[in-house]
């Protein structure tokens, strides 16, 4: 057989075959686990943030001297005068219908504030997610296939170094160098925010993209290493498989063996990370959004935490955790379609 011949797939997964009797039970188990996790998040989000020091009612007065009657009126308005168990049952009942309460500091429904900030977060974290996932998978694949070579050592060393750097520290460093300017390097990018204001049309798009550069670079630099290392490790585990030797014996070129057989079988661990990161795109990155004054959910969470604005903090925490749980569950449900061994 010539080198250009294309035999049938030799991978171990054998295609998307799922045992009909086992898969429904597998799905039911995963969905049940997700429901229990959501219930645990609901309970945790209520009690955890009530341990934060500070009186939200005093914050709402803006530091003014107010009478005890006025403070009692505020507590009654927001239900803080009720027993804790009654506050909890009221919170759970409303949360299950999509009502996460009213923000203390904004005097607006929590869901409205989340809906308002969500597109900004998705723009930042979604752009970063696509870039660091593609870069991590490509570089991880090349590093594993040339294991021990110069490129492998350079990519792995750089990935480990950047992954160990705190994202807020790297963000501050980039602001100092590329926003403020240092030595011969002029300030090229804005220090923060999402837009300069006053721009319309295509000029507005360019302005937002200009503000997007440094926070995206920060997230990609810190996050791509994790994807690279997991992809590299998974592919190294596959490289000694008999099915790869069989593929080479049938005449496939080395790059086809890697692309068609080794990489698909090595992607399950990487897929887990991809789905977790996909869930985190909704949560945003609190420290990076705070450092760059990005008006997303992460920055909103930081604002709410500093008050403390209990309904807003609880609502954001619930949304963040729900996104991760949903993506994790979705990954679990997809696994058996890619590898029948998982759902047996």
Say what the pLDDT of residue 261 is. 66
The whole-model pTM stands at 0.76
What is the pLDDT at residue 6?
A: 42
Nearest to 76 by CA among 85, 66, 87, 65: 87
Answer yes or no: are the C-beta atoms of 265 and 238 closer than 8 Å.
Answer: yes
| CB contact at 8 A, 285 and 275 | no
Looking at residue 307, its pLDDT comes to: 76
Closest alpha carbon to 114 in 275, 285, 318: 318
Burial profile 276-303: b = 16 or more Cβ within 10 angstroms, e = fewer: ebbbbbbbbbbbbbbbbebbbbbbbbeb
Domain range summary for the chain, segments of one domain joined by +? 111-338
The two three-digit tokens of residue 161, written as one number: 């170094």
Inter-residue contact 192 to 294 (CB < 8 Å): yes
pLDDT recorded at residue 284: 58
Angle at 306 between CA 304 and CA 312, to 5 degrees: 15
- What's residue 342's pLDDT? 60
Kindly list the averaged pLDDT for each block of 10 residues, start to end, along the chain of length 344.
Answer: 42 46 79 89 80 66 66 71 80 82 84 91 91 91 82 88 89 89 80 81 89 93 89 79 70 69 73 78 78 89 82 87 86 74 57
Residue for token pair 């009126």: 73
User: 111-338 adopts what CATH topology?
Assistant: MetI-like fold (1.10.3720)
pLDDT at 12: 46
Summarize pLDDT for 236-282 with one digit per residue, the tens. Answer: 877 766 776 677 677 667 667 766 667 777 777 777 788 878 777 76
- Residue 281, both tokens: 């795109």
CA distances from 53 to 48, 317, 326 (A): 11, 18, 31
Task: Please state, in angstroms and rounded to a whole number, the distance separating the CA atoms of residues 172 and 181.
Answer: 12
Q: For residue 330, what are its two tokens?
A: 């979705």
Strand partners, 182: 185
CA dihedral 319, 324, 326, 328 (to 10 degrees): -170
Quick check: 179 and 171 in contact, CB under 8 A? no
């Amino acid at each position: 057989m010539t080198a250009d011949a294309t035999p049938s797939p030799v991978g171990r997964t054998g295609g998307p075959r799922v045992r009909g009797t086992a898969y429904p039970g597998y799905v039911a188990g995963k969905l049940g686990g997700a429901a229990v996790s959501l219930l645990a998040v609901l309970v945790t989000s209520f009690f955890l943030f009530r341990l934060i020091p500070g009186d939200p009612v005093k914050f709402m007065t803006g530091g003014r001297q107010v009478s005890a009657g006025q403070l009692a009126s505020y507590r009654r308005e927001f239900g803080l005068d009720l027993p804790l168990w009654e506050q909890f049952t009221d919170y759970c009942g409303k949360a299950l219908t999509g009502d996460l309460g009213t923000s203390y500091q904004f005097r607006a429904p929590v869901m409205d504030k989340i809906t308002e900030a969500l597109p900004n977060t998705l723009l930042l974290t979604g752009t970063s997610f696509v870039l660091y996932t593609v870069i991590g998978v490509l570089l991880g694949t090349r590093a594993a296939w040339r294991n021990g070579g110069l490129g492998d050592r350079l990519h792995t060393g750089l990935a480990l170094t950047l992954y160990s750097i705190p994202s807020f520290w790297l963000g501050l460093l980039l602001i100092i160098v590329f926003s403020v300017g240092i030595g011969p390097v002029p300030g090229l990018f804005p220090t923060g925010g999402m837009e300069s204001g006053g721009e319309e049309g295509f000029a507005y798009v360019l302005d937002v993209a200009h503000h997007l550069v440094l926070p995206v670079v920060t997230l990609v630099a810190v996050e791509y290493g994790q994807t690279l290392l997991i992809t590299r490790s998974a592919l190294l585990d596959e490289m000694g498989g008999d099915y790869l030797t069989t593929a080479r014996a049938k005449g496939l070129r080395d790059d086809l063996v890697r692309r068609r057989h080794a990489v698909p079988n090595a992607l399950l661990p990487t897929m887990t990370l991809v789905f977790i990161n996909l869930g985190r795109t909704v949560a945003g990155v609190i420290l990076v959004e705070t450092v760059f004054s990005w008006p997303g959910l992460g920055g909103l969470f930081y604002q709410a935490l500093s008050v403390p604005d209990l309904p807003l903090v609880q609502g954001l925490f619930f949304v963040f955790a729900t996104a991760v749980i949903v993506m994790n569950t979705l990954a679990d449900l997809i696994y058996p379609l890619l590898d029948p061994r998982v759902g047996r």
